[in-house]
Amino acid sequence: MSEKKHFYLKLVASRPTFAMDMNNEEKAIMQQHVAYWMDLMNQGKVIVFGPVFDPNGAFGVGIVEASSEEEVKTLIDNDPASKINHYEVYPMKAVLPAK
């Protein structure tokens, strides 16, 4: 079994006002986005995710556990929100409580 790695994901909106002025299609996509990441969380692939309300423009954050960057890319490619926004991905060293 390969060692799991952790990655910081930043979902960057298509515009700074996205969180405040989404149209109906964008709202539907973002609802699918939340359901998608909740499912991944329930599978144990996501440690935490959610919006960050930066005054310069809200963005999404996720911390994921995966075996490779390729796996993370697949997670992102399957996210409905990646059709209208884009992700930045950073490898990280996560400090987690002992299991």
**Mean pLDDT value across residues 59-70:** 97
At 3-12, the pLDDT tens digits run 889 999 999 9
What's the structural domain count of the chain? 1
Q: Is residue 45 part of a domain?
A: yes
pTM exceeds 0.75: yes
Q: Is residue 40 part of a domain?
A: yes
Residue 96 to residue 65: CA distance in whole angstroms: 11
Q: Is residue 22 part of a domain?
A: yes
Q: Is residue 53 part of a domain?
A: yes
At 18-39, the pLDDT tens digits run 999 999 999 999 999 999 999 9
Which neighbouring-strand residues pair with 64? 7, 46
Q: Is residue 97 part of a domain?
A: no
Domain containing residue 50: CATH number: 3.30.70.1060
Range of the domain at 81: 5-92
Q: Is residue 75 part of a domain?
A: yes
Helices of type H across the chain: 18-21, 24-42, 69-77
Q: Is residue 61 part of a domain?
A: yes
